[in-house]
Chain A
Amino acid sequence: MIHALSWQFVQMVLILAVSPLLTGIVRKVRARLQRRRGASPVQPYRDLRRLLAKEAVVADNASWLFRAVPYFVFATTWVAASLIPTFAANLMFSGAGDLIAITALLGSARFALALAGMDIGTSFGGIGASREMMIASLAEPAMLTIVFTVALVAGSTQLSTIAETMLNGHPGLRVSLALALAALLIVALAENARIPVDNPATHLELTMVHEAMVLEYSGRHLAMIELAAALKLTLYIAMIACVFLPAGMADGPAQPVEDAIGVAAWLAKIAAGGIALGIAETAVAKMRVFRVPNFLGAALMLGLLGVLLLFVSQGM
């Protein structure tokens, strides 16, 4: 019991400790590709420390919601992240929620953040919240259709089982899975407010979404939100790795050699994901906000097509 709990704790701490580094790597890659020197990959840790030490400035008419939301968003994202198998599957709490629950937990965090954006009553907060919900209204169903595709192939919505099926069950090359992967990449970009959907590095632009929502935050509240954003990015890369590239993952905790291999493999996958994201972000331009629905609609249709193909091809 205590043993199992501590492994779960290791997973939570690992994913939390790595996530700012991932953000740092993405920034570094982008800077290098733009022929800048860029800040050190550990800069996000320094930023967090600085933000945590500062006093928080809160608008006069902010309600309790505004102050509670950063912690709630962080905690929900953290819980969702801890349900993803990283170095080993079948951790203690992996039965508490499946892929659908993880998607919905991220939805809870977004719900809270969008409300916080509207709490002060500024136009920037409103624009961010409104656009975030518009993007989510397509990204979330797209995500769920991807979940369905993967679940139908693996016969389970439970991520541990899915990872094991992908690892040992030889699902083969399936058109549906390819469609789901393409859709998942689009959804991951949109959900994490990356280029081409949103730009995490902008301010004072009418096209910004996530940054507009959190514009009023400062100090430790901002630190929590930044950390939650970094966690979410790590979560998505870990999820893609877990479903489509589970190689190296141990099938259960408490096996020293397998676990060490698992951690190393996972860190390599996360780093590779970060570098790929940095390259992709440099290669494409940001979209106009009303082209985003087409982009995400494509993901939804790809996901739906994947599910339809699976339904049609089975039991013939």
Chain B
Amino acid sequence: MTVAAWTILALFGLAPFGALTARFPAGRVPIYGGSLILCAGLFYAGLTGLAGPTEHLILPLGLPWIGTHLRLDAVSGFFLVLTGMGGAGASLFAVGYTGHDAHPERVLAFYPAFLAAMALVVLADDAFTFLFAWESMSLTSWALVKAHHRQAGNAQAGFIYLIMATFSGLALLLTFGLLAGPAGGYSFDAMRASHPDLAVAAVVLVTALIGAGSKAGLVPLHVWLPLAHPAAPTHVSALMSGVMTKVAIYGFIRIVFDLLGPGQWWAGTVVLALGGLTAVLGVLHALMERDLKRLLAYSTVENIGIVFIGLGLALAFRATGFQAGAGLALTAALFHAFNHTLFKSLLFFGAGAVLKATGSGDLETLGGLIHRMPWTAFAFLAGCAAIAGLPPLNGFVSEWLTFQAMLLRPDLPQWGLKLIIPVDAAALALAAALAAACFVRAFGIAFLGRPRSEAAAQVRETDAWSIAAMLLFAMLCLAAGLVPGAVLDRIGPVAQALTGANMPRQMGDAWLTIVPVAASRSSYNGLLVFAFIAVSVLLTTTAVHWFGSRAIRRGPAWDCGFPDPSPATQYSAAGFAQPLRRVFGTVVFQSGETVDMPPPGDNRAAKIEQRIADPVWDWLYLPLGRGTIWVANRMNAVQFLTIRRYLGLVFITLIVLLMALTLWQ
């Protein structure tokens, strides 16, 4: 606990030095190096939180006479581990990546503060500290999003982010206000002790979904995320996608699972529905996207959906008194959150390396990078395979656990759950398959084939720090896939604290097999599958080379006899997505194409135009914006009144309020 508190203070303390050292060429090294060490401290503190008893600490900071209440329990510990892990990786990557940043002072000062704010959210034990940390997290990350504010689109991204962050903060303020009740106890202990009635609990669920969900990127509140995450410098993008969304999930878990107390089953239905929608819509967006970083941001939306599916399932099971199922579902959700921190950070690092090497994240200008950036390609491939949910990597295990939780109880009596769980299972399966397509496209277009531009043909491998960070996370993805039991056992106390049950201990089983419920029901052994594949590859390769031919001849590509030397004849990113756009996009995005083919003899260029409409923008945000402008225009008249009329307005308002109060009582 004291380690965590001191680390957070040190990170806040490191921030001003960032502004000072930014003047020197190597000024980034002490800041990122310091952040790296302090993040390791956070990681360690998180582990102690997971292992040990709950610890409290009251710091004499913040509001006078109240102080800052901190608490490190298993839940906080788990998310502190994620923060430390993601932060350490991003810092290591940043040491090399930011070497040629034109404006280091715009990043260096905010970066440690951002890390500190995220860690503080996780530790906060009263509403004031929580909201202070939450808003600090929003503001510092907003400043980081605006670091390259002159690039096209970034200013708008920052603006939309600021609006959504304000909105999210407001929703959380309301949440805590409701939880505190008329007695006004703003410490979390007081909130835990009070049991709000049904209507209040329903409102709290909605406001928590809005407040934490908009930060996490839950559809339809996700719109800022694919704009803001890619706009930030890449190591910050990795933090925002890999860690900040997890902190948002922590907020949701803390409020709904912990503070709100035992819920109603329909709360699970709502969360399940939103999770399924988020997973499918997020990955469909990612499939259509041509900018590498934005593609990754949309994929974050998808993964948040998967986590929320697990959370919804846990809520539903817990409310129906099925503790073991709730424990399994929550473990699956948290494990997926852990995995997402790993592979999304890794993928952002890879995207950053590509961006640095080619100067562009546009898929249509990349290609063939595997030849000149072998390490980056290898690590990025590992990340793609992990996020696509392929065994024996880690993404598969958490999705597999979620499926197992879904299949546990078809006999629940609630009709809402009977209908939503199978539909969500299909949605999750669809999202997983689409994610595979999405990352085949991302890796295949960016790293394979022939270079589509001069810049892509001339790239050089990225620096050693970045490669180290990428390989480290790739190894962790593999390790978490091979020995998931090691992570699952650490999650045990979290599930125990929140649902009253956890998965059976995993590390004791023979061959480290994962058995969520019973061996006859389902089991999975990543280590064995991996060993099996490795041995088979080895055997076949040896046998084929021994008995068959070893000769290899290099020649021009065959391509059915008509190879075309121009790299433009390869499949493009848009072309790769076209079949899927035709299958899914016509329904979801009302996508369409207009082809303008000039008749023979006319020598203007042929043109093909694609249209993609985002249903959320068109049906929610644009009407909202139009409504706001309409109201503002009407209210405009009120701005130019005489003092006499203003006083009159005040008087009328007072009368109306007093009358309302009289009628109320």
Taking Cβ atoms with an 8 Å cutoff, the residues of A that contact B are 52-61, 63-65, 71-72, 74-76, 78-79, 82, 93, 95-98, 100-101, 104-105, 107-108, 110-111, 114-115, 117-127, 129-131, 133-134, 136-141, 144-145, 148, 151-152, 155-158, 161, 203-204, 215-216, 218-220, 223-224, 289-290, 293, 300, 303-304, 307-308, 310-312, 314-315
Footprint of A on B, CB under 8 Å?
Answer: 367-368, 370-371, 374, 381, 385, 388-391, 396, 400, 403-404, 406-407, 410-413, 418-419, 421-423, 425-426, 429-430, 432-434, 436-437, 439-441, 443-445, 448-450, 511, 513, 519-525, 528-529, 532-533, 536-537, 540-541, 544, 547-549, 551-560, 563-564, 567, 569-571, 575-580, 582-583
Bound complex: CA of A71 vs CA of B425, how far in Å?
32
Q: A96-B528, A123-B570, A129-B440 are known contacts. Are A104 and B390 too (CB-CB below 8 A)?
A: yes
Chain B residue at smallest Cβ distance from A218: B558
Q: Is the CB of B513 within 8 A of A95?
A: yes
How far apart are the CA atoms of A111 and B436 in the complex, in Å?
7
7 A-B pairs (CB sep. < 8 Å): A63-B370, A96-B511, A96-B532, A104-B396, A148-B403, A203-B560, A315-B412
Cross-chain contact of B549 among A52, A108, A131, A314 (Cβ < 8 A): A52
Quick one: closest A residue to B433, CB to CB?
A140
Q: Is the CB of B548 within 8 A of A121?
A: no
Chain B residues with CB below 8 A from A218, complex form? 558
Taken together as a complex, chains A and B put the C-alpha atoms of A316 and B416 apart, in Å, by 14
Bound CA–CA A101/B436 (angstroms):
15
- B407 to A, closest residue via Cβ: A151
B390 near A108 with CB under 8 A, answer yes
Interface of A is mostly: helix
B438 nearest CB across to chain A (Å):
9
Least distance between B577 CB and chain A CB atoms (Å): 8
> What's the Cα separation between A156 and B515 when bound, in Å?
12
Q: Which 10 pairs from chain A and chain B are nearest by CB?
A: A126-B571, A315-B411, A121-B449, A52-B548, A55-B551, A75-B536, A118-B444, A141-B429, A121-B450, A133-B437
B524–A107 CB distance below 8 A = no
Contact check, B540 vs A75: say whether CB atoms are below 8 A apart: yes
Q: Which residue of A lies closest to B537 (CB)?
A: A75
Alpha-carbon distance A63/B369, docked complex (angstroms): 10
User: A71 to chain B: which residues have CB within 8 Å?
Assistant: 537, 540-541, 544
Closest to A308 in B: B422
Given A129-B571, A314-B411, is A157 in contact with B521 using a C-beta cutoff of 8 Å? yes
Which residues does chain B contribute within 8 Å of A126, judged by CB atoms?
A: 449, 570-571, 575-576
Contact of B580 among A53, A60, A137, A300 (CB under 8 A): A137
Q: Say yes or no: B407 contacts A148, CB within 8 Å.
A: yes
Closest to A151 in B: B407
Q: Within 8 Å CB of A215, what residues of B?
A: 558-560
Indicate if the CB atoms of B549 and A304 lie closer than 8 Å: no
CB pair A130 B578 closer than 8 Å: yes
Q: How far is the CA of A290 from the CA of B585 in the complex (A)?
A: 14
Contacts of A310 in B (CB 8 A): 410
Residues of A within 8 A of B423 (CB): 304, 308
Within 8 Å by CB of A97, from B407, B529, B547, lies B529
Residues of chain B with a CB closer than 8 A to A152's CB: 407, 410
**In the complex, are the beta carbons of A59 and B558 less than 8 A apart?**
yes
Pick from B381, B404, B557: contact of A59, CB below 8 A: B557
Cα distance, A79 to B419, chains bound together (Å): 35
- Set B368, B385, B513, B558: member contacting A108, Cβ < 8 A: B385
